[in-house]
Chain A
Amino acid sequence: MDSDFHCMTVVSERLLKDDIIELMKEEGAKGFSITDSVGEGSRGVHASDWEGRNVKIESIVHDETAKRILKRIADHYFEDYAVIAYTYPVTVVREQKFK
């Protein structure tokens, strides 16, 4: 078992889905899982009110990768878009799957 891995989680308006996945892959994520989500945050209405729901994107990545993704998402999207991001350590087996 190996605990150098993190679950990198992003909840954002649906619009950003493809961009965020691309960003994650660029930083080295090998896979991801997406669930539909609705929510409320600090912002008032956002386009997703009309266009559809939020997405929650999760990717099991290496520690360092998570840090880089977290930073890039904050830099690029926090100002203008409805998005939050966080990460937490997880234990996996057969770590080669995520590298």
Chain B
Amino acid sequence: MGEAVSRPYRRTMPATWWLTNRAYFLFMVRELTSVFIAIYLVLLLVLISKVAAGREAYEAYLTFLGTPAVLAFHVLALAAALYHSITWFNLAPKGLVVRVRERRVPDAIIAGSNYLAWIAVSALLWWVVL
């Protein structure tokens, strides 16, 4: 004995780390919203190509969109997209520092204006399309 010892113990993160606490889990959900959005974008691109391909193709595709599985996907995708929007707007002030007359604009105001823009854009699109 008598020899000096320093033998640090190293811990590793399990692949399931994101299940170990709520915040990590919500983070993972946030990141995975991107998968739903990507799939949706592909479906949208197909929709546009079907519009180009003609009425029949378009209508057949609408029927496909109406099948329960695809509908269910879109409902989930909508939830994911909403989650994305909310987390995104809440985090947006982080990278952004806005100053008015030497005073930093509070994060809540920046986030708030994002929400307003969101509502306006959504309403506009809804009105244009429908």
Pair from one complex? no
